[in-house]
Structure 1
C-alpha cells in the first residue's frame, strides 16, 4: 500500500511551524549565556552599589567634617550612579544599542533641570550650607529679615523658630544668597551700654560708677577688661559708653541687668540722665512795642531843638 499524500498546503504549514520552532530554539540557546550574564551583572551590580554606598556613608560620617544629611545625599548619588551603569551594562549584554538611550536620558535630565531650576538651586544651596556649615542646629542666626534659632537643615529648606515663637521655613537659596549673622557661634560677645549724663555732672564720677557697675556683675568677664569712654557730646547730654564682654549664653541677661542697674546707680549717685532739651527765645508783641516806643522817645522833638532861639 502506498501512503496517502499530504496536501501541499498542510505540508507547507507544518514546515513553517518547524522552522519557527527551530529558530526560537536556536535564539533561546544563543541567548541563554547572555541572559545568565545579564542576571549575574544585575545581581552583582546591585549588591556592589549597596555595599559601596554604605561604605561611603560610613566613611563620610566617620570623618566628622560632613553633616549626616550631606553624607547620606552623596552616598545616594553613588548608589544611583552605579545602578545606572549596571542597567546600561545589562542592556549591552542583549545587544541593545545604548548610545541613543544615553542621549535620550541626557535630554530628559536637561529638561527636568530647566523645569526644576529653582528647586535644584535650593538643593545646591543646601549642600553648600551643610558643607560650609555657617550655622548648625540650635544656633541663633539672622539672614535678611529672618532671625531665629535653627531647628533643622534640609537639602531644600531650613526651619527656624523665631524668638517670638513663630515657626519659619526658609528656602536654602534665600539663606545662601544673603549675609548670615551667627550670634551663637563664638563663645563670648561684647555688649555696649550708652548712657547720657548732664553737662553739669562729673565725667570722672560717671566713669567710676559705670566701672563699679561692671565689676559688681559676676557674668562680666575680666578679660577683656571693661572700658568706659565718652561716646558723644550730644545736644542735651554727654553720652557715656561702656563696653563689656560676657559669655554668649549670658549676653541678653547681662545687657538687661546692666541697663537697669545703670539707671538705679546713677540715681543714687546724684548723676542726672537728662531729657532732650532745647532753648526757645520767644518775643511777644508787647515787648516788641515797648522796644519801638523807646526808639521814638530817644529822638528829640522839633520844638525842643529850636526852643533856645525863641
Structure 2
C-alpha cells in the first residue's frame, strides 16, 4: 500500500503537468476551429458584397482561409506537446516545393484563372480578341477558358495562355465608334457627297449625338477621294449599324450620281515602223 501511494505521489506531478498540457491543446484546437469558421464566414461575406469576385472563386478563398487557420492551429497544438515544428515545417515546405515543380503548368493555369476571376478583363458573353483568337466567352474556369468563334467553333484555352497575352474586349464599354471609309471619283462633288452621308446619319436613331460623328476627306488616292465616316453608337448596334449605313449610303450615292470608282489603268500601244 505504501508503494502504491508512493507511485501515485511520483506520477501525480506528471499527470497534472501533461493533463494541463492536454487540456491546453484541446482548448487551442477548439479555438482554432472556431476561428477558422469565423474567418471563412468573414471572407465569404466580404467577397459576396464585392462585385469584383466571381461566385466560382469565393469557395476557394473561403476554404484556403480555413485551411490556413487550421494549419497554424495544428502546429500550435504540436508545439504544446514539445514536437519540433520547425523541422516539420521544413519537411512540408520541401514536399510542397516538389509538388509545385511537378505541377507547375497546372498551378500556373490555376493562378491565371484566379487572376481572371478577380480582375475580370472580360465576362461570360463578351466578344473578345485573345491574342490571335476572336470569339465570345462561354465560361471562365480555374484551369481553362471556354469560348466559341463568331462562326460557332468551340475553343478551349489554358488560362495561363489567356492571362499571358493581349486581351481586347469589344463588349466592355457601353458605346463604340463605327469606322467606315468611302471612295468617290475625283470628278464628283466632295461637299455634296459629305452632305449625303450626313443626311443618312441624321436619319438613323441608333447614332449618338455625343460624341459628334466625324465626316471628313481622309485621303487622295490613285483613283478615288477617300471620305472617312465615324459615327458613335451603343455597343450592341455596331455591326447592324455598319451594314445598314453601307447599304443606305450606296443607295443614296447612286440616286445622286455619286460614283464609287474602281482602280483602272490606261494602256497605250505604240506600233513601230519596220
Instruction: Return the TM-score normalized by structure 1.
Output: 0.77
Deviations 1:193-216 (A, max 9, x none): 211111211111111111111112
What's the counterpart of residue 245 of structure 1?
232
Larger RCO (CA within 8 A; separation ≥ 6): 2
Matched, 1:206 2:193: yes
1:1-310 equivalences under 5 Å are 29=15, 31-283=18-270, 287-289=271-273
User: Could you tell me how far 1:76 is from its partner in structure 2?
Assistant: 2.1
Contact 2:188 2:259 in 1 (8 A): yes
Deviations 1:122-148 (A, max 9, x none): 222223223322222222211111222
User: Could you tell me how far 1:27 is from its partner in structure 2?
Assistant: 11
User: Could you tell me how far 1:29 is from its partner in structure 2?
Assistant: 4.5
SS at match of 1:241: strand
Instruction: Return the TM-score normalized by structure 2.
Output: 0.87
- Note the aligned Cα RMSD (angstroms): 2.5
Contact 2:52 2:120 in 1 (8 A): no
What's the counterpart of residue 3 of structure 1?
none
Deviations 1:43-68 (A, max 9, x none): 43223212211221112222334333
Contact 2:135 2:147 in 1 (8 A): yes
Cα distance in 2 for residues equivalent to 1:230 and 1:273: 15
Deviations 1:145-185 (A, max 9, x none): 12222222233222223222222222222122212111111
**Structure 2, unaligned runs of 5 or more:** none
